[in-house]
Amino acid sequence: MIIVKTAEEIELMRESALIVSKTLGMLAEEVKPGVTTLYLDTMAETFIRDHGAVPGFLGLYDFPNSLCMSPNAQVVHGIPNDTPLEEGDIISIDCGALKNDFYGDHAYTFEVGEVAPETKKLLQATKESLYVGIRELKIGNRVGDVGYAIQKYTEDRGYGVVRELVGHGLGRKMHEDPEMPNYGKRGRGKKFVEGMVVAIEPMINLGTRRIKQLNDGWTILTADGKPSAHFEHNVAIVDGKPQLLSTFKYVYEALGIQSDEEEEFLQKKLQQ
């Protein structure tokens, strides 16, 4: 059952999402060769608590840390450890925060130093597919329209779309209805309704879409050992249209990147 949110609840969810956005922005300055994911995890936990929130993943389904840290061939749900990041790595950082009883949940895949051109392209296409999907999140559309858009955008570029893990509704629980797959068929699935809030999170592989799981019970990685990218935003349907609750602007500020992508990607199709 989809739990719609009131305008007041959406504002609280924006607050939670922005704490995650700021956490990712803080981490953006710290991601570099030699840094361990466990160190970044500790920094994030402190930062989240200093902002009056609780880490959203810590203890959720018994997850042991505050961040899911998934380098290179790891897709999602990687556990922070004391292995230093290396030049040329990519690292998906997925972060949750709980404040005022509502969760924020979003993710960014960072480059560690200079990464291979084909990996850079994968990151760019995955992030673009996130916005291509978000544009479809509007009244009159269904869950399948978002999945179709993400799948088409990334498969047309030769990438593998992970099927086993999906986006989700978000609210007082980290995972609410509906499931938001990154693949699908136009016009299929549940109808979107005013006031719903979802996490859209394409997980896109450079090679095969097939995955496997480490025997730690958590870490998902690509079956062929090639890199995987993951970007996630929290989005509400307001006035029939998608409204971003999270933002990458703090990440871009930290990295010195000029980007209007959030406005550009959303506006382009909304005007149609």
Residues that bind Mg ion (CB under 5 A): 94, 105, 107, 199, 232
How many whole angstroms separate alpha carbon 235 and alpha carbon 171?
A: 11
Beta strands in 100-141 (DSSP E): 102-111
Q: Which is nearer to Mg ion, 9 or 94 (CB)?
A: 94
Q: Which is nearer to Mg ion, 157 or 251 (CB)?
A: 251
Q: Which is nearer to Mg ion, 19 or 186 (CB)?
A: 19
Q: Which residues are bridge partners to 106 per DSSP?
A: 95
Q: Which is nearer to Mg ion, 151 or 225 (CB)?
A: 151
CB 33 within 8 A of CB 84: yes
Q: How far is the CB of 83 from Mg ion (least distance, A)?
A: 22
Q: How far is the CB of 168 from Mg ion (least distance, A)?
A: 6
Q: How far is the CB of 107 from Mg ion (least distance, A)?
A: 5
Q: How far is the CB of 122 from Mg ion (least distance, A)?
A: 19
Here the tokens at position 164 are: 């086993």
DSSP string, 140-174: T-BHHHHHHHHHHHHHTTTPEEP-SS-EEE-SSSS
Q: How far is the CB of 94 from Mg ion (least distance, A)?
A: 4
Q: Which residues are bridge partners to 161 per DSSP?
A: 204
Burial class (CB in 10 A: 0-12, 13-18, 19+), 85: buried
